Structure 1
Amino acid sequence: MTVLMQEMSWPAFEEKTKALAPFFLPVGATEQHGPHLPLGTDAFLPTHVAKEVAARVGGVVAPAIPYGYKSQPRSGGGQHFPGTTSLAANTLTLVVRDVIHDLGLHGARRFVVVNGHVENAWPVIEGIDLALRELRRDGIDDAVALRLEYWDFVQTETLDRLFPDGYPGIDLEHASLLETSMMLLVRPDLVDMSKIPNDGPAEFPKFDRYPTPPGLVPASGVLARAQGSTAEKGEWLLTDHVNLITEAISAEFSLQTR
């Protein structure tokens, strides 16, 4: 049986709510990822993780929110790159609120919001808070939501294998080794290894300046080196992400895994 909500009939959906299945909501972005990766990378990856985990815990994956909060230079390159299409923080908050609230009205009680875009964190938190408030207002006081960034679920040993000279941190990994390797596993048809640029890693001050100064971000939009990316490395990462998130959710909701 499918785990994708958009492929379910309403009776199948209702069965899932009666079983207290966890409902996963991937929240991504439509954002530049260099000349070698697609604009939808931040939606493809959390959706893949959500599908894999949902299959193990009997969950449902709601359609991903494909737009995220505004791209920032130090973590995403910035809004000036063609194709980067974003939401204001309040808009994203209200979308998350409305989706969770409606799912709750239709019987969902366990939510897992899987974030795929660094800048989304606080608008998503606010959306969850507002949704749970509205559900309580409507007499539904047993809803529980978990929010996570999938990249936090990785073993130190895996990062040491990937970065023997030291892990630069998730912000600089935009369109770099991690995302490129995972996309080579998840959607290799959308990766063009011949277009990986040679610039980077980016060097940023420890503050943000607006408007963004010209030349602050590498012209390619890639913030660190993507050379050496392979599907095998992507598999190392995604295995950790799926296994560790499955363990965390199963423990939190007392679920049996398949």
Structure 2
Amino acid sequence: MSEVRMERMSWVEYRRRVETDDPVVFLPCGSLEQHGPHLPLGVDAMLSTAVACEAARRCGGIVAPALAYGYKSQPRCGGGQHFPGTTSLDGDHLSQLARDVIREFARHGVRKLALVDGHYENQWFLIEGIDLALRDLGRDCGLRVLRTEYWDFCTEDVLGEVFPDGFPGFALEHAAVIETSLMLHFHPDLVWTDRIPDDGPAEFPPYDLYPPETERVPPSGVLSSARGASAGKGALLAEAVCGGLAGAVHTAFVAS
């Protein structure tokens, strides 16, 4: 099977693949952010990369190194900036980083680029980076860009199996069942199951106050209990999101 990780290729092999195969290049996007006492800080980049790699294997794509720093963690979906280890970018810096990288891929001759986001707070800043890059490159540059959060490929049927007692919502799933199960599937050596807390679900009002009300966030940083996580659920989720992403790429770049 051909190598999918860009950083493991020589520039000669990368150029050949781009010129000969016209591949989709996947750009994982994550963060360096607390994920409770049972998961590592790099979960978002690790999972977006793992999902991108599996999708790339299915469609002959290439996976670039992840944008591993993300926009500032928010209490209602990431626990907040007050946790040691959480290391974030200002929004305009993330947008400019995405802008620069997208322009570089266009310079390489890439025509199909898929940004796979694994950090809830990144969304609008990545969109801004895409918009600015395409504005710089011009309408006739030939580059098309797909952007998605990988969890959007979790179907209702899969969520029903993973959450038989009811799904708490993606915002509260920070460091909870979905991410813990996927880590048990892709990186089981980096999950410390004996440290899983039994917090949540956290309760937040339908508004934000500034400075943030950090006391509303469980001390562990976990917004909903991860006790229901398992490698089996991770495999089920992985098939849904990896297959869904590969199908979306085919629809966007091949079938259209």
Give the TM-score category using the shorter length: over 0.9
- CA offset digits 1:182-215 (Å, max 9, x no partner): 1011111111111111221100000111112241
| Aligned-residue identity in percent | 52
Alignment partner of 1:215: what SS? helix
The corresponding residue for 2:9 is 8
- 1:120 corresponds to 2:122: yes
**Mapping of 1:1-258 within 5 angstroms?**
1-18=2-19, 19-136=21-138, 141-254=141-254
Contact 1:181 1:233 in 2 (8 A): yes
> 1:17 & 1:133 partners in 2: Cα distance?
23
Alignment partner of 2:247: what SS? helix
> 2:126 & 2:154 partners in 1: Cα distance?
22
Contact 2:34 2:86 in 1 (8 A): yes
CA-CA distance at 1:247 after TM superposition: 1.1
CA-CA distance at 1:9 after TM superposition: 1.1
CA-CA distance at 1:228 after TM superposition: 2.0
- CA offset digits 1:111-160 (Å, max 9, x no partner): 000000000000000001111111228xx521100000000002211111
> 1:251 & 1:215 partners in 2: Cα distance?
44
> 2:214 & 2:73 partners in 1: Cα distance?
16
> 2:57 & 2:85 partners in 1: Cα distance?
32
Moved over 4 A (4+): none
Contact 2:168 2:201 in 1 (8 A): no
Contact 2:80 2:214 in 1 (8 A): no
Amino acid in the other structure paired with 1:17:
V
> 2:89 & 2:111 partners in 1: Cα distance?
27
More off after superposition, 68-77 vs 55-64: 55-64
The normalised TM-score by structure 2 is 0.96
> 1:165 & 1:190 partners in 2: Cα distance?
27
Contact 1:105 1:135 in 2 (8 A): no
The normalised TM-score by structure 1 is 0.95
> 2:199 & 2:100 partners in 1: Cα distance?
41
Q: Which consecutive unaligned segments of at least 5 residues does structure 1 have?
A: none
> 2:214 & 2:13 partners in 1: Cα distance?
52
How many residue pairs get matched?
253
Contact 2:82 2:214 in 1 (8 A): no
Amino acid in the other structure paired with 1:201:
P
